[in-house]
């Protein structure tokens, strides 16, 4: 390479390199560093077979997700933020066609039933995950967590942390609408 070309090539490469790094750092500022992208998006839901919270002789499996759009919410009576979210879930259960199912995570049956009585029960049915083993299959690391599942049992979105009005209106509601129509 001629000396003239090389003289500006190196500084330009450095500037471009720094610009690329800058773009990554800038976009990172918008995001919570503790939130992990889920590897389950666009995958079929994990398989499971758990007893139901209100009736230990009945079971719930992943087959319950087929044929409709589902909002699958992981909660626990010991989880502070879950109580915050319950109002919003009650609202959703009254104003949306989405089917709400629950996963009661590492909880006590009695405590969970009391909690639902106190904060509201928006769930069509609740699977009782006493050991949390099923939740591990869903990659749960911070309750509450909510999964939006399409009619074919494919996970389309995961929300870590409580759902508020903004999350519902801006993210979940439009997605659920789209999934109902297109499937």
Partner 1 sequence: MRILTAMLVLLLISSCFTLQASARATDSLHFVSPAAQARYNDLAYSLRCVVCQNQTLAESEAPLAADLRHLIAAQVNHGKTNQQIKRYLVERYGDFILYSPPLSALTIFLWFAPLGFLALALWRLLRRIRRRPQILDK
Chain residues that interact with partner 1, rule: CB under 8 A: 10, 13-14, 17, 20-21, 34, 36-40, 106, 131-133, 136-139, 141-142
Closer residue to partner 1 (CB): 65 or 138: 138
Residues 141, 160: Cα–Cα separation, whole Å? 9
Q: How far is the CB of 25 from partner 1 (least distance, A)?
A: 12
Output the smallest distance, CB 139 to partner 1, in A.
Answer: 4
User: Which residue, 142 or 174, has its beta carbon nearer to partner 1?
Assistant: 142
Taking the complex as a whole, the smallest distance from the CB of residue 97 to partner 1 amounts, in Å, to 30
User: Which is closer to partner 1, CB of 59 or CB of 141?
Assistant: 141
Q: From 179, 172, 171, select the one nearest 154 (Cα to Cα).
A: 179
* Nearer to partner 1 among residue 38 and residue 121 (C-beta): 38
- Taking CB atoms within 8 Å and a gap of at least 24, the contacts of 58-66 are 60/101, 60/125, 60/126, 60/127, 62/153, 64/101, 64/125, 65/101, 65/149, 65/153, 66/151, 66/152, 66/153
The distance of closest approach from Cβ of residue 174 to partner 1 in the complex, given in angstroms and rounded to an integer, is: 25
CB 134 within 8 A of CB 61: no
């Amino acid at each position: 390479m001629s000396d003239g070309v090389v003289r500006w090539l190196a500084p330009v490469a450095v500037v471009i390199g720094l610009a690329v790094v800058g773009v990554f750092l800038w976009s990172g500022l918008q995001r919570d560093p503790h939130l992990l992208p889920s590897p389950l998006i666009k995958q079929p839901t994990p398989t499971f077979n758990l007893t139901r919270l209100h009736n230990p002789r009945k079971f719930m499996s992943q087959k319950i997700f087929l044929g409709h759009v589902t909002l699958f919410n992981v909660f626990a009576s010991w989880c502070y933020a879950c109580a915050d979210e319950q109002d919003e879930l009650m609202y959703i259960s009254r104003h949306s066609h989405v089917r709400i199912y629950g996963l009661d995570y590492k909880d006590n049956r009695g405590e969970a039933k009391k909690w639902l009585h106190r904060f509201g029960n928006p769930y069509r049915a609740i699977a009782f995950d006493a050991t949390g083993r099923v939740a591990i299959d869903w990659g749960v690391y911070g309750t509450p967590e909510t999964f939006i599942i399409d009619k074919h049992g494919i996970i389309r979105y995961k929300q870590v942390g409580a759902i508020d009005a903004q999350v519902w209106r801006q993210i979940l509601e439009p997605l659920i609408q789209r999934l109902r129509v297109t499937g």
